[in-house]
Structure 1
Amino acid sequence: MNLRYNYQQRKKEFIIHSSIEIEIILLFMAIVSVAMGVRHYSKLPYTIALIFAGIILSFFDIFPDIHLTPELIFHVLLPPLLFEAAFNLNANELKENVKPILIYAVFGVIVAVFVTGFLLQGTFSLFSTDGVMPLMACLLFGAVISSTDPISVLAIFKQLGVPKRLSSIIEGESLLNDGVSVVVYGIILSAIVSHSHFSFIYGLKEFIEVAFGGALIGTILGLTFSRITALIDDHLIEITLTTILTYLSYITAEYFHASGVISVIAAGLMVGTYGTKIGMSPTTRVSVKDFWDYIAFVINSVVFFIIGLEVGIVNIFTNFHYIIIAILSVLIGRTVSILVLTQIVNRIDKKIDFKWQTVFVWGGVRGALAMALALAIPKDYEFRDIILIMTFGVVGFSLIVQGLSIGKLLNILHIGGRDKNLEEYELEKGRLIAINGAAQELESMYKDALISTHVYQLLSDHNTKDIEKAKEIIEELAKDPNVKNYEFKTSLKRLLLKQKDSIQESMKHGIISIQVGERLINTINQEILYLD
């Protein structure tokens, strides 16, 4: 009897303790299912699809124990995302567009915070909204919502062939304005918590100290770790070192009351632009890039899915007036900051026309960082719930409405657009692959006597005609220099990857030594990096 009782008790305890593990498994299964479905059946960016999936599943309460908390985002999820983005940022494009990126990222956040805050407070006062928020609370919301997260937008940019300068500015601005918004948020929240009078001069002084301190710490640590990796030629150790650097730069900066976010960004930029050149072999660079690409995919997937869950539980209809006012205030704040600062950019750098400015405004979607900042507001602050509601509403609107419509906006403005010959080439190539696959299946059916000779001959002749027709079209399209260049690069990369597989297989069976194999793979990786 006791044995049975003990077994039942242990079984009950196991189920209770395993609930979070089961939720995590279901979470990853849902993420993979959505990602696979989008890849094969839809052109919808997978991050937006994950939000929809999260919203739908929020009604079934499948994930009661999984939530976005400030500790989870700031200390676990955010540093790797920032490091990966900084590490992969194109150094040449960053240098070419450093002026507009810095102006939009630094001054754009400050302008947007104040315009959004004053507009929000004025609107509440004008319409005598219940529970009118004071100016400092409105400015705090402005800081919460000022960082942009254009992951879904950049995915659409790649599909539509948007000019590199446009996507580089938006990507660079998004990376740097994360750090700026966190610093501004900290200054305003500190003034609210301490009940001190907010001084713009004092705030500016503290902003410079915190931002500069974070940049200095991240640069020093990034430089130090870059020199360490130069002494090692082991991709596993070097991946581990970049992981340590990611969290160490954040923790160190926060310990010295500097910006951990800016520190991680500086460290990532240092390793990506300097460390990869002096301290990483081509094989290590490929391995490190693949590792951080995977980490970014997992974290982004989890965050966007949970955003869907969190947005889904907000009572949208009850607080609809707050959300509408917030959305309009944020859009106007973003518009004012872009229009005003572009006048400065156009005087000191290449001109940015009105079409691009429109894309900057509408492409400034909000994401996980905004939600983390809102959740990090002290629970005893009386306006925390209103700020949370407005943040969830704005994030949901920007990711779903702005994220889904940015492609149509680009088409209306005639920005980007893929080469028609290149698209036609890919279409014919896809048809040829499909026909060849069908031809192989036909041969197999005939060999296994599953089809008569007469029908086999008819279908074989039909396939041969289709193959010849597709080949003729591809040969004609390949005369286009852009198509020829694309075909050469993709074909060469496929051959290089096949060479790499063959060498790895030979090493596995002892046909060639590990030392020789690694030298050969290193050379191939160098060529692959050059192609990319």
Structure 2
Amino acid sequence: MDKKQNYFPVPVVLVLLGVVLSVIPFFQGVIITKEMLFTFFLPALLFISAYQFSMQAWQKNKLIISSLSSIGLFLQVIILGLFIYIIGNGFLSISFIAALLIASLLTPTDPVSVVNILKQASSDKEDVADIVEGESMLNDGTSIVVFTVLLQMYGQQASVHWLDFTQEFILVSFGGVVVGIAFGWLMSKAVHFTHHRQYQVMLSIIVAYGSFYLGEALHVSGVLATVTAGMMLSYEFGKNIKEAHFRESLDGFWGIVEPTLLSIIFLLIGIQATEYLQFSEWTLAFFVFVCTLLVRFMVITGMTQLHPAWRKMITVKDSGVIAWAGIKGTMSVALVLGLEATLGADHFIVSLTFVVIILSFVVQSIGVYPIMKKLNSKGMSSSS
């Protein structure tokens, strides 16, 4: 990988290019909506990330990945919400429910711009990159459930009922996983009925979008349904080496689709961002951004260092890398746009969160390679 690309990952360049294009009158009418992201982009991207995720990496790190994307996400929302409530009221009036809602928008991670950099820069620590990638794959689904429940409470100005919250989370998450397992298994069997690669690709598209839409129709997590379907499909194919040609067909198709969709999304995010960059409380946004990093580091370090097996695998330094690599991206933008449809584009929660997302995406993406390079050089000097 080109060193310049390590310092300035392509997604960051695309977002900044989108900001530049937004000043051209032709692009000022271009908008991105929650419906656009959820209907066309997210099912495919979620399926690809799950299908391509190494089953060997999942078997090795499934407990820590699952814990960080569930218990860890809950802890981040609560602690970050408390920080935002305390700091935010120094700038403007924010209720605790509003602070928790903002925190839920800032917990999904999207490290697409840095995973390859992590894998190349820390070849002796592949677990770190796998955990970052696996966590982001699962926490998209859990964060949507948390966000949806908190948004209902915010609209009703109700207090947080933790029992109802937990029951809703378990029901929606478990239902999504069941739908995904069923779709993935059916696809792995149906693919044997045809030797035409075009039909095999069509079946994978049905799995990606069908599992998502069915999950949403049944009022369970469509995101977790798609992720589980992709992982189930990968697992079933991996059990039989004779099915390698199926992977070749799907990899060839989705290998073109993924960068195409991502390029369009990041350009649109950059174009859309200009509207929110005029936010007056940039100081508050910066403090919230710093808090997201601090809280994420605290939670990851606490969970890994308290577990004897995880402590041997993930050092405090590794926890810092995982925390920094937890970039806010597509899912956070989708949730913010959904909130915008409810509260309005000029609401402070929408503007504040979007600015923090842009800060996270640009600053953390650009900072990953220098941080990894410095840590690796320290490691080499200490070992020598």
**Fold agreement, TM-score > 0.5:** yes
2:27 aligned with 1:66: no
CA displacement at 1:102 relative to structure 2 = 1.0
Pick one of 105, 123, 138 that aligns with 2:69.
105
**How many residues are aligned here?**
378
Letter in 1 for 2:53: L
Partner of residue 126, structure 2? 164
* Aligned equivalents of 1:42, 1:351: Cα separation in 2: 29
Pick one of 65, 82, 98 that aligns with 2:46.
82
Q: Secondary structure at the match of 1:59?
A: coil
Native 8 Å contact 2:207 2:229 kept in 1? yes
Bigger mean CA deviation after superposition, 83-92 or 67-76: 67-76
Q: Secondary structure at the match of 1:377?
A: helix
Bigger mean CA deviation after superposition, 395-404 or 202-211: 395-404
Partner of residue 218, structure 1? 180
CA displacement at 1:190 relative to structure 2 = 2.0
Native 8 Å contact 2:276 2:354 kept in 1? yes
Native 8 Å contact 1:55 1:308 kept in 2? yes
Letter in 2 for 1:118: L
Pick one of 9, 14, 22 that aligns with 1:45.
9
Q: Secondary structure at the match of 2:267?
A: helix
RMSD: 2.4
Bigger mean CA deviation after superposition, 245-254 or 273-282: 273-282
Native 8 Å contact 1:230 1:279 kept in 2? no
CA displacement at 1:338 relative to structure 2 = 1.2
Native 8 Å contact 2:97 2:159 kept in 1? no
* Aligned equivalents of 1:313, 1:380: Cα separation in 2: 17
CA gap of 1:190–1:269, structure 2 versus 1, over 3 A, is same
CA displacement at 1:124 relative to structure 2 = 2.1
2:152 aligned with 1:152: no
Q: TM-score, normalised by structure 1?
A: 0.67
Partner of residue 356, structure 2? 394
2:264 aligned with 1:302: yes
Q: Secondary structure at the match of 2:193?
A: coil
**Greater Cα radius of gyration, structure 1 or 2:** 1
CA displacement 1:385-409 (0-9 Å, x = unmatched): 2222222222211121111111111
2:95 aligned with 1:134: yes
CA displacement at 1:40 relative to structure 2 = 11
CA displacement at 1:58 relative to structure 2 = 1.9
Native 8 Å contact 2:304 2:310 kept in 1? no
Partner of residue 20, structure 2? 56
CA displacement at 1:50 relative to structure 2 = 0.7
Letter in 2 for 1:170: V
2:273 aligned with 1:311: yes
CA displacement at 1:333 relative to structure 2 = 2.2
CA displacement at 1:211 relative to structure 2 = 0.3
Native 8 Å contact 1:221 1:245 kept in 2? yes
* Aligned equivalents of 2:197, 2:379: Cα separation in 1: 38
CA displacement at 1:194 relative to structure 2 = 4.0
Partner of residue 200, structure 1? 162
* Aligned equivalents of 2:342, 2:199: Cα separation in 1: 45
CA displacement at 1:329 relative to structure 2 = 2.6
Partner of residue 246, structure 2? 284
CA displacement 1:68-120 (0-9 Å, x = unmatched): 20001112110100000000000011100111111111111111111111111
Letter in 2 for 1:93: A
Letter in 2 for 1:92: Q
Partner of residue 335, structure 2? 373
Native 8 Å contact 1:227 1:275 kept in 2? no
CA displacement at 1:45 relative to structure 2 = 1.7
Letter in 2 for 1:133: I
Pick one of 121, 125, 135 that aligns with 1:173.
135
Native 8 Å contact 1:183 1:207 kept in 2? yes
Native 8 Å contact 1:410 1:416 kept in 2? no
CA displacement at 1:417 relative to structure 2 = 9.9
Share of identical aligned residues, percent? 26
Superposition pairs for residues 228-377 of structure 1, below 5 Å? 228-275=190-237, 277-278=239-240, 281-316=243-278, 318-347=280-309, 350-377=312-339
Q: TM-score, normalised by structure 2?
A: 0.91
Bigger mean CA deviation after superposition, 282-291 or 398-407: 282-291
* Aligned equivalents of 2:213, 2:279: Cα separation in 1: 40
Letter in 2 for 1:187: V
Native 8 Å contact 1:229 1:279 kept in 2? no
* Aligned equivalents of 1:304, 1:119: Cα separation in 2: 29
Q: Which runs of 5+ in 1 are unaligned?
A: 1-37, 419-532
CA gap of 1:349–1:98, structure 2 versus 1, over 3 A, is farther
